[in-house]
């Protein structure tokens, strides 16, 4: 499996070209490092944290910025098995984050205080997927 931690320039440009004034759902799939990978000299380096523990720290330090832009978690789950897809793609956690619009997401990720929290995510995550969806109607069928 190829590891993905940050968006490529091309993918981020596609994201920015989409409408910014409509609600979005961001599917997050996460696989953590066994041991958090903090940069040398960081205050959390050497604490022996797992990737999951470092991601919990990211949640604590980024949470206020997420809430400030109107973000909320609309679904969270724990991986059990891949039914269709590559056998090597397994995830430690998954969730869907709601943002009132893409402008809110962009405001959050460009906030200097949020960016300080990202070091915890970088240390925690071995690979991830972040996929934008337009929210649709929930209901009883597939169609």
DSSP state of 39: P
Query: What are the chain's domains?
Result: 23-133 (3.30.70.100)
pLDDT in tens, the chain (143 residues): 688 988 999 999 999 999 999 999 999 999 999 999 999 999 999 999 999 999 999 999 999 999 999 999 999 999 999 999 998 889 999 999 999 999 999 999 999 999 999 999 999 999 999 999 999 988 888 76
DSSP state of 18: S
Instruction: Identify the CA nearest to 114 among candidates 64, 51, 49, 73.
Output: 64
pTM exceeds cut of 0.75: yes
């Amino acid at each position: 499996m190829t590891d993905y931690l940050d968006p490529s320039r091309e993918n981020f440009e596609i994201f920015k070209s989409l409408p910014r004034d409509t609600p979005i759902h961001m599917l997050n799939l996460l696989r953590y490092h066994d041991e958090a990978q903090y940069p040398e000299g960081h205050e959390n380096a050497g604490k022996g944290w797992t990737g999951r523990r470092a991601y919990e720290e990211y949640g604590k330090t980024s949470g206020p910025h997420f809430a400030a832009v109107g973000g909320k978690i609309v679904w969270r789950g724990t991986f059990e098995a891949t039914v269709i897809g590559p056998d090597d793609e397994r995830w430690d956690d998954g969730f869907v984050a709601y943002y009132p619009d893409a402008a809110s997401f962009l405001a959050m990720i460009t906030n200097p205080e949020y960016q300080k929290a990202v070091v915890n995510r970088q240390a925690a995550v071995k690979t991830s997927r972040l996929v934008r969806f337009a929210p649709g109607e929930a209901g009883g069928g597939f169609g």
